[in-house]
Amino acid sequence: MHVNEGSTLSAIRVNLKTIEEVRILIKLGKINVGSMIHPVKPYHLPIRINKCLKCLRHDHATKSCSRPRLCRRCAEEHSLEHGCPNHEKRINCGGDHISGHSVCPVVQEKRHALVEQSMRQRSELLIQTERQQHQYHCQGSDYSALLNDNQSYSSTVTPHQTAESS
């Protein structure tokens, strides 16, 4: 699919009303938009790991940090105006890589824990959404006491119609 000036659109966002519609679309694996067929796959936001730019730890954000500012190179507290003459050292693992780098075992451990937490939350959300949708799933026959003998239930009744006018 192309947008302005011939650039290609790599993703299309689709909002669906029910979890069942989501399952069907994912199972089909494609969607027809206009005259083009596009592959379908669920989108999950990338996992972001907090990193304090002040103390260089990964368990909080910078603005909530009460620790002293540390050097990104040696993880020590000193003036940062004239560079750092010390050897590289990371506060989280002691490794010789840039603080917060993906090779850091602490970052890998945090990422793994966040992925697990995210998967658990997605599952819980799907279960909760499905329960809520089933809670309100009903048939016209469920309300037979509300219908008199001359009325019949129609599933095509819109909010502005009554069973009699359809």
Mean pLDDT for all residues in the chain: 74
Residue 1 has pLDDT above 70, yes or no: no
Separation CA 140–CA 153 (nearest Å): 5
Q: What is the pLDDT of residues 51-94, one digit of tens each?
A: 888 988 888 889 999 999 988 888 888 887 888 888 877 777 87
The C-alpha angle with vertex 18 and arms to 12 and 19, in degrees rounded to 5, equals 85
Percent of the chain exceeding pLDDT 90 equals 4
Identity of the residue numbered 44: H
How far is 93 from 101, CA to CA, in rounded Å?
Answer: 11
The answer to whether 58 touches 110, Cβ cutoff 8 Å, is yes
> What does the pLDDT read at residue 111?
85
Residues 20-45 have a mean pLDDT of 84
Predicted local confidence at residue 65, as pLDDT: 92
CA distance 81 to 78: 9
All residues at 6 or more sequence positions from 115 whose CB lies less than 8 Å from its CB, including other chains: 47
Q: Indicate whether 42 pLDDT > 50.
A: yes
pTM over 0.85: no
Token pair 């909002």: residue: 15
What is the average pLDDT across 30-43?
84
Q: Residue 68's pLDDT is what?
A: 92
What pLDDT does 144 receive?
Answer: 53
Question: What's residue 67's pLDDT?
Answer: 93
**Do 73 and 86 form a contact (C-beta atoms < 8 A)?**
yes
User: 136 pLDDT band (50/70/90 cuts)?
Assistant: low
Between CA 128 and CA 94 the distance in angstroms is 43
DSSP assignment string, 50-80: ---TTT--SSS-GGG--SPP--TTT---S--
Q: Are 19 and 130 in contact (CB under 8 A)?
A: yes
Q: How does pLDDT run across 95-135, given as a tens digit for each residue?
A: 777 667 778 888 888 888 888 888 888 788 777 766 766 66
